Structure 1
Amino acid sequence: MSENREVSVGFIGLGNMGAPMAQRLVEWPGGLVVCDVRPDAVRPFTDAGATAAGTPAELGERCGVISVVVLDDDQVRTVVTGPDGLLQTAKPGTVIAVHSTISDRTAVQLGAECASHGVEFVDAPISGGAPAAQRGALAVMVGGSGAAFDAVREPFGRFGSLVIHAGEVGAGTRMKLARNLLHFVAFTAASEAQRLAEAAGLDITQLGKVVRHSDSHTGGPGAIMLRKTTAPVEADDFWFTVLGHVRDLGEKDLALALDLAGRLDVELPLAWRALHDLGDGLGVGPGAIAKEQK
């Protein structure tokens, strides 16, 4: 058994996300210590063999790697730096990982404060929701030192099937914010698609089935996120033909949807923006249809 696997892991916050994540660590060889303000949230873990801690400080003195899943920046600060916080007792070399989505500035500030105690801090936000946590299939984006990443990679692999070292402290949060930007802009686009379909007399629940089915095969928006740069694509680059084809198809379909929307008197501001920006966003410039629309 490696030295890393002998380290006790602590988990603070056993809510909708934290509980299924921590459940994947119950059989961690070094032992699991859990902490939550709700006794009923702790009980299933102690029944399964984990140890309970009354406060973050009590947990901090027992564990070498600590995961934190609480609500927001203020709660994270309280858990890490408060009177009963982790830094009151955490030993030098301990790694504190925050999985909550917080400000990247908060992550950097906490990283500096932890460093002053000889403690490693990583911001490690997660993507995939509770179902992925239950399956051990979360994506975990880690911002921190290489040594800290090495320390957390194996325990995080219990609840995450993709564990990425995003870079320095703060980088994990920045990656999560970029990922969620796509997520919620896509939700807004989905609302436009539903308005268009509803105005056209279509069953929007059936449309939803089609979208989920096709995205499961095409990969959705992530399918085009394969390049290492957002710079314009040179004409002789392999990607120019591929992304140019995507642009031409997209502009055609967007123009047809906007024509339908005009006849149905439905406003589609995101669709107009997409028509004009798609080519530049893909790095191949606007196509003929977008140029005609300007």
Structure 2
Amino acid sequence: MVSAAPAPRVGYIGLGNMGAPMARRLVDWSGGLVVCDARPSATEKFAAAGVAVAASAAEVAARATVISVTVLDDAQVREVLTGDQGILRTARPGTVVAVHSTIADSTAVELAQLCRARDVDLVDAPVSGGAPGAKQGRLAVMVGGSESAFAAVQGPFGCWADLVVHAGPVGAGTRMKLARNLLHFVSFTAAAEAARLAEHAGLDVRRLGEVVRHSDAVTGGAGAIMWRETTAALTGDDPWLPIMSHVRDLGEKDLRLALDLGDRLGTELPLARQGLEHLAAGLGLPHPTRQSTGADDDR
């Protein structure tokens, strides 16, 4: 009977708002943990829990073979990897470095090439779920990298994430995170527009927020329509056709009603107008009024 390979020792560099709660969930990792942060105060609680503390990224790499990096930006990631006291100074062949910072996908690809020259694997592995998700161990992590590197990080990542997705080769994790955050922040902009409409209508904006959070938890929010494998136009025999047609018809009706309310209240709703114009095409459908009349504007 072949015994399972021992768990790798994990390193964690960057113990800020996200990194600290993620690393805390690795304190009992069977292979051991070593942490590093530029601020001594960030490592004190880890040291008190019996976790090894390294003085530099190079020292982490000398002691660990799976290393997570959660720092601020591209420049800091580059310094942690290639600086005078960086990971590549001491990393052993076969080491896997996971960058959780949201950086440019081109930076991830470039740094992966530098790592590969040293027989080190880099994965870009940005996360979604914020500090609450990190504390609860409920983050989603989007991994770009080789199959072997993905296999190496799945165990440690499972301590702080309950969704680990292999997005594709290096760079794919970052591209998926950018697409996810596009939805996130455009949704925030739409939420601000909806709040203005509610406020001008004399409603309690906080109660509207309560309704939004409740219903999105049930329906899945905007992610509920992201189950198709493509954004191409729907064909007549596609099983999604009746579902998306219903979404389009309901959405266009409600957007028109909201725009009418906004006109009566003197509230500008530019995103709602954009939504009415582009909803159908985004769902892979023709705009029904334009299809039948050829009109450019049916609002």
What TM-score results when the alignment is normalised by the length of structure 2? 0.96
For the Cα contact (< 8 Å) 1:13–1:19, is it kept in 2?
yes
Task: Determine the C-alpha separation between the residues in 1 that align with 2:286 and 2:77.
Answer: 43
1:105 to partner: Cα distance? 0.6
Amino acid at match of 1:228: E
Within 5 A, what are the aligned runs for 1:125-274?
Answer: 125-274=126-275
For the Cα contact (< 8 Å) 1:16–1:130, is it kept in 2?
yes
For the Cα contact (< 8 Å) 1:247–1:287, is it kept in 2?
no
Q: Which residue of 2 aligns with 1:78?
A: 79
Q: Which residue of 1 aligns with 2:298?
A: 293
Task: Determine the C-alpha separation between the residues in 2 that align with 1:137 and 1:243.
Answer: 30
1:237 to partner: Cα distance? 1.2
1:289 to partner: Cα distance? 8.5
Within 5 A, what are the aligned runs for 1:34-45?
Answer: 34-45=35-46
Secondary structure in 1 aligned to 2:94?
A: coil
Q: Which residue of 2 aligns with 1:100?
A: 101
1:224 to partner: Cα distance? 0.7
Task: Determine the C-alpha separation between the residues in 1 that align with 2:73 and 2:6.
Answer: 29
- C-alpha offsets along residues 66-108 of structure 1, whole Å, 9 cap, x if unaligned? 0000000100000011110000000111000000000001100
Amino acid at match of 1:232: A
Task: Determine the C-alpha separation between the residues in 1 that align with 2:226 and 2:4.
Answer: 36
Does residue 11 of the first structure (1) align with residue 12 of the second (2)?
A: yes
Equivalent residue pairs, number: 293
Identity of aligned residues (%): 61
- C-alpha offsets along residues 16-50 of structure 1, whole Å, 9 cap, x if unaligned? 10000000100111100000011111011111121
Task: Determine the C-alpha separation between the residues in 1 that align with 2:237 and 2:109.
Answer: 41
1:119 to partner: Cα distance? 0.3
Secondary structure in 1 aligned to 2:162?
A: strand
- C-alpha offsets along residues 219-240 of structure 1, whole Å, 9 cap, x if unaligned? 1000110000001111221100
1:4 to partner: Cα distance? 5.2
1:141 to partner: Cα distance? 0.3
Secondary structure in 1 aligned to 2:140?
A: strand
What TM-score results when the alignment is normalised by the length of structure 1? 0.97
Q: Which residue of 2 aligns with 1:88?
A: 89
Secondary structure in 2 aligned to 1:10?
A: strand
**Alignment RMSD (CA, Å):** 1.3
1:2 to partner: Cα distance? 3.1
- C-alpha offsets along residues 198-224 of structure 1, whole Å, 9 cap, x if unaligned? 111111111111111111111100011
- C-alpha offsets along residues 127-162 of structure 1, whole Å, 9 cap, x if unaligned? 001111111110000000000000001110000000
Task: Determine the C-alpha separation between the residues in 2 that align with 1:108 and 1:159.
Answer: 25
